[in-house]
């Protein structure tokens, strides 16, 4: 709503409205919720350091040194390795940074691809009423299929590896995003500006892109955040099972599986990657919940 549309508002009114808007801005609500603020800050740091891994990692994550094999945290053999060394004498700090990069990258890629497809399905279902039934039935079918089975089936058909993993996680992300996008788009469809846009002769493409998509994307993005935690968890589980990232790739799930054999003598090799996955997923879940509450006033108590 522009200022011109409300000519009766005094300057003081406008200032008051602006102040309320600022106070209720989503990011401010997040800041008022301490756990969510901590989670957001943590994720900024983690995603930042994962992206910068090649530059900030102290050592090469693939350079092995058998003399430093299974060196514990703070061990005298490896004074330069802050978190010790793994079963091949590789620096754990560097491996975790690169592992985060791989794990987060897989999750984000999958949620972007799957979420993008899901959003396309959801928006089309809301816009083209004839497509609603068939598209949503398809989504129901996808939703009723446990996502781990996508992982198993795709690994079985296409072979194990990063590509299959991303494909499986993408498919698993489609249905819930499609449902959310459809719900959000349906309420936008009721708005008068949709009708106005059609009246001035805008085509379907322009209406979907400029009106529907641009108005729905905040909601879709938030559900993608929630989905991201699940995608990371599932991706790590599949890699742990040996169906995703393959050794020697530094990926948190496969690192955890690698370290399993040395659990009794060097627990840090598998515990550190596990803890990293846990903290990242926890942060995404806490932040996602807070974002959802902030955007959906009905859920706010």
Partner 1 sequence: MISLPVLLGVLLIGFLLLQVVPTDPATVVAGPTATKAEIDAIRNDLGLNQPLWVQFGRYLGRVFQLDLGRSMISNRAVVDEIALTLWPTVELMLACLIWAVPLGITLGTLAARRRGTLIDRAIMALSVMGVSVPVFWVGLLLIQYVGGAGLLPFQGRNGPIWTPDGFLSIILPAVTLGAVFVGPVARMTRTSLLETLGADYVRTARAKGASDWRVTVRHALRNAMIPVVTLVGLQIGFLLGGSIVTETMFAWPGVGRMAVGAITSSDFPLAQGAILILAVGFMAINLAVDVLYAYLDPRIARG
What does the binding site for partner 1 look like in residue numbers (CB under 8 A)? 137, 140-141, 144-149, 152-153, 155-157, 160, 229, 233-234, 236-237, 240-243, 253, 256-257, 260, 263-264, 267, 270-271, 274-275, 277-278, 281-282, 284-286, 289
Q: Closest distance between partner 1 and the C-beta of residue 100, in Å?
A: 14
Query: Which CB sits closer to partner 1, 188 or 256?
Result: 256
Q: Closest distance between partner 1 and the C-beta of residue 18, in Å?
A: 33
In this structure, what token pair is assigned to residue 267?
A: 């627990």
Q: Closest distance between partner 1 and the C-beta of residue 236, in Å?
A: 6
Q: Closest distance between partner 1 and the C-beta of residue 214, in Å?
A: 32
Q: What is the dihedral of CA 246, 238, 161, 281, to 10 degrees?
A: -90
Query: Which CB sits closer to partner 1, 155 or 291?
Result: 155
Query: Which CB sits closer to partner 1, 222 or 277?
Result: 277
CA dist., res. 253 & res. 151, Å (int): 14
In this structure, what token pair is assigned to residue 145?
A: 């299929």
Residues facing residue 85 across a β-bridge: 91
Please, how many CA atoms are within 13 Å of residue 82, restricted to the half-sphere of its CB?
9
CA dist., res. 165 & res. 154, Å (int): 8
Q: Closest distance between partner 1 and the C-beta of residue 73, in Å?
A: 15
Q: Closest distance between partner 1 and the C-beta of residue 190, in Å?
A: 26
Helix (H, G, I), strand (E, B) or coil at 91: strand
CA dist., res. 119 & res. 181, Å (int): 5
Query: Which CB sits closer to partner 1, 91 or 289?
Result: 289
* Sign (positive or negative) of CA dihedral 36, 41, 44, 47: negative
Query: Which CB sits closer to partner 1, 104 or 185?
Result: 104
User: Using an 8 Å Cβ cutoff, are 28 and 22 in contact?
Assistant: yes
Query: Which CB sits closer to partner 1, 207 or 241?
Result: 241
Query: Which CB sits closer to partner 1, 177 or 233?
Result: 233
Q: What angle do CA 11, 17, 23 make, to 5 degrees?
A: 135
User: Using an 8 Å Cβ cutoff, are 185 and 126 in contact?
Assistant: yes
Q: DSSP for 210-258? A: IIIIHHHHHHHHHHHHHHHHHHHHHHHHHHHTTSSS-TTS--HHHHHHH
Q: Closest distance between partner 1 and the C-beta of residue 278, in Å?
A: 5
Please, how many CA atoms are within 13 Å of residue 9, restricted to the half-sphere of its CB?
14
User: For the chain, how far is it from start to end, CA to CA, in angstroms?
Assistant: 28
Q: Closest distance between partner 1 and the C-beta of residue 25, in Å?
A: 24
Query: Which CB sits closer to partner 1, 10 or 301?
Result: 301
């Amino acid at each position: 709503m522009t200022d011109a549309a409300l000519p009766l508002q005094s300057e003081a009114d406008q200032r008051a409205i602006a102040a309320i808007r600022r106070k209720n801005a989503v990011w401010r609500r997040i800041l008022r919720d301490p756990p969510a603020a901590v989670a957001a800050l943590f994720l900024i740091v983690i995603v930042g350091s994962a992206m910068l891994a090649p530059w900030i990692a102290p050592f090469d994550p693939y350079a092995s040194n058998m003399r430093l094999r299974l060196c514990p945290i703070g061990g005298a053999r490896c004074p330069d390795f802050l978190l010790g060394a793994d079963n091949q004498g590789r620096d754990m700090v560097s491996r975790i940074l690169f592992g985060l990069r791989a794990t987060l990258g897989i999750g984000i890629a999958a949620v972007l691809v799957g979420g993008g497809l899901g959003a396309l399905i959801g928006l089309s279902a809301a816009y083209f009423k004839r497509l609603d039934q068939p598209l949503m039935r398809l989504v129901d079918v996808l939703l009723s299929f446990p996502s781990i089975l996508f992982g198993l089936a795709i690994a079985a058909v296409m072979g194990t590896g990063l590509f299959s993993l991303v494909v499986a996680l993408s498919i698993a992300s489609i249905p819930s995003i499609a449902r959310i996008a459809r719900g959000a788009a349906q309420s936008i469809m009721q708005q008068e500006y949709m009708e106005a846009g059609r009246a001035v002769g805008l085509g379907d493409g322009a209406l979907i892109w400029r009106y529907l998509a641009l108005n729905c994307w905040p909601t879709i993005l938030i559900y993608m955040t929630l989905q991201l935690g699940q995608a990371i968890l599932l991706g790590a589980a599949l890699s742990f099972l040996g169906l995703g990232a393959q050794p020697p790739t530094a990926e948190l799930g496969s690192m955890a599986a690698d370290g399993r054999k040395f659990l009794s003598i060097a627990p840090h090799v598998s515990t550190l990657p596990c803890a990293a996955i846990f903290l990242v997923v926890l942060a995404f879940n806490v932040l996602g919940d807070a974002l959802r509450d902030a955007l959906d006033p009905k859920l706010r108590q």
